[in-house]
Chain A
Amino acid sequence: MKGRGRVAFIVSFLAPAAIVYAGLVLVPLIRAFEFSMFRWRGVSNKRTFIGDENFRNLFQDRAFATALTNNLMLLVGCGVAVVALALLVAHGVRGEGRLRKILRSIYLFPQVVSVVVVAVMWQFIFNPHGLFNAGLRAVNLSKWTHTWLGESAWALPAVGVAFVWYALGFYIMLFAAGLEGIPHEVNEAAELDGSKGWHRFWRVTWPLLWSVKRVAVTYLTINVMNTFAIVYLMTRGGPDRKSEVMLTYLYEQAFVNSQFGYATALATGNFLVVMVLSLAILFVFRRNPVEARP
């Protein structure tokens, strides 16, 4: 676009957004890396430069190791469940029929409801007297009832169930779009060749979903590694850190213990873990199996 007063216009139109963004996003981002090299409890003048000591402590911090392990277990458990369920349901949200229409209009409900509602709701479902245990008793499975959120073995899986319920809709949407994107001719050709059922799924559909899978796995990794509210509200990371995740531990260090320097190092560590995992995903999905063929 040309015309008089161009420069003044560009500057004046960019300035408001740029100032707010630079001041409240970019400056804290830069300071995050700076803070992580100090021992600091947030009181001005009393910060000591300690270089990489926070990071070395991080490697020896048992609680951080526990939190990271829990994050990774959630990633594997929820990841498999989400991909399998999302693929299954994605086949069902297309087409006609009353059930499919209902399904289309509700499958994203859990995603648009506040994560606080999700967490509180599941806290009550998993309450010793909650919906889940009462259901088990009603079908004579009383011996399977547990204090789900209070027992070391069950707290993390219970949180995982709530997470899957919450996150699934987004991935259904992704996979449904992916299925939509498979060209008609391909499906017709497969039909003519007599490929159907599992055979067709593994030989035709699954490879063609390559780019959707890559996006889905990347998002899952980011979402699970950055889980906070569900865990914080359902279990506070308990019992005995059995459901602690990186961000609940970060919150505790920063806003309970006022270890601001260490908490920022935790945040940086969390970010690096996500980066490494994302790069690994890019590597795994480096070649499109469909395009690779001559």
Chain B
Amino acid sequence: MKRAIFTVCLGLFTLTVLLPLVWVLISSLKPGAEILAEPWAMPSEFRWANYARAWGEAGIGRAFVNSSFVTVATLVILLPIGAMAAYVLAKYAFPGAKAILGTFLGGMMFPTFLVIVPLFLLMRDLKMLDTMHGLILVYVAYSLPFTVFVLTGFFVNLPDELAEAAMLDGCGHARTFWSVMLPLARPGIIVVGIFNAIGLWNEYGLALVLLPSERNQTLPLGIANLTMTQQYQSDWGALFAGLVIVMLPVLVVYGFFREKIHETMLAGAVKG
């Protein structure tokens, strides 16, 4: 009896998680007027054109390209410099190493809104407000703490003997890192990359403040603006199609790497 009640609870919970998401998916195919007129009904016809309008007129396509560019560019800078710093901090003992590592990890402790005003003014003075390269640099900086945290964990566990052997063979420090140690840390790099990619793709607060104009906006900004402009045009179909365009890539990636993502989240949580 108790077991049955528990199973019903779990079933209800599963439904609560899935129902809103499925509702968004189904609504994205409805003629716009039906979304709020008959929220529980199936679409009277499938309007794939919602997606075309979202992608084109509503600007979601451009935002999609912007978001892809920002995410990829951030990772391209973040992963090498994060791995380099993490390697040195994990494998080389020198005065101040602990303090530097601590300063990096401390960045996981405070919310970005604590520094949002000085950061906004700094970017304004550097003429990097409303530019994608400005946002990318900021994303790199604010993703470093978590990246360094996970990657030092990986490098610490690699045996020193490997690096020593490479150096006996005549490799310099840098060569040893690039051709021996970094390839061994590949699982860590992949996990950190995926984890950061999801976070960057979804990021809203910093983008809201640092990208005021529409031209450069990322997907979360594009969707948020669409809710406001659509209040006058009420093309809800395109808005819901836009919501699906934002969340589908993330859910697919998550589906592929679920176990790894769980491990990383737990490691980050328990340490922090």
Contact = CB atoms under 8 A, between A and B. Distances in A.
A255 interface: yes
A260 B236 CA distance: 36
B148 A117 contact: no
Given A3-B167, A13-B84, A120-B223, A138 B40 contact: yes
A222 B111 contact: yes
Interface in A99-130: 99-100, 102-103, 105-110, 112-117, 120-125, 127, 129-130
Contacts, number: 248
Given A17-B82, A21-B144, A6 B114 contact: no
B118 A264 contact: yes
Interface stretch (A185-193, A200-208, A225-233): A225-233
Interface residues of B, number: 91
A97 to B, nearest CB: 8
B115 interface: yes
A173 B227 CA distance: 32
Consensus secondary structure, chain B interface: helix
Interface string B145-169: 0001000000000001001100100
Contacts of A219: 269, 272
A9 interface: yes
A122 B220 contact: no
A205 B115 CA distance: 40
A1 B247 contact: no
A263 B117 contact: yes
Given A105-B258, A131-B40, A250 B113 contact: yes
B246 A121 contact: no
Nearest to B177: A13
B114 A113 contact: no
B85 to A, nearest CB: 4
Nearest to A233: B224
Contacts of B204: 114-116, 229
B201 A114 contact: yes
Given A114-B220, A131-B40, A10 B88 contact: yes
Given A20-B81, A228-B205, A260-B121, A10 B116 contact: no
Contact of B117 (A92, A116, A260, A271): A260
Nearest to A247: B113
Contact of A117 (B38, B247, B266, B269): B247
Interface stretch (B1-9, B44-52, B54-62, B183-191): B1-9
B137 interface: yes
Given A114-B247, A120-B243, A170 B220 contact: no
Interface in B82-133: 82, 84-85, 87-89, 91-92, 94, 100, 103-104, 107, 110-111, 113-122, 124
Interface string B189-214: 00000000010011011000100000
B250 A112 contact: yes
A182 interface: no
B117 A6 contact: no
Given A3-B173, A32-B115, A99-B14, 7 more contacts: A3-B167, A28-B122, A29-B114, A115-B220, A121-B23, A226-B111, A255-B120
Interface of A: 1, 3-6, 9-10, 12-14, 16-18, 20-21, 23-29, 31-32, 35, 42, 85, 88-89, 91-92, 99-100, 102-103, 105-110, 112-117, 120-125, 127, 129-131, 134-135, 138, 165, 169-170, 173-174, 177, 197, 215, 219, 222, 226, 228-229, 233, 247, 250, 254-255, 260, 263-264, 267-268, 270-271, 274
Interface of B: 2, 6-7, 9-11, 13-14, 16-18, 20-21, 23-24, 35-40, 81-82, 84-85, 87-89, 91-92, 94, 100, 103-104, 107, 110-111, 113-122, 124, 137-138, 140-142, 144, 148, 160, 163-164, 167, 172-174, 177, 198, 201-202, 204-205, 209, 219-220, 223-224, 227, 236, 239, 243, 246-247, 250-251, 254-255, 258, 261-262, 265-266, 269-270, 272
29 contacts: A1-B91, A1-B164, A9-B88, A10-B94, A14-B100, A24-B141, A25-B141, A35-B117, A89-B10, A92-B9, A103-B14, A106-B17, A109-B17, A112-B261, A116-B223, A117-B243, A121-B23, A129-B37, A130-B39, A134-B39, A165-B20, A170-B265, A177-B266, A177-B270, A197-B2, A222-B111, A250-B113, A260-B121, A263-B117
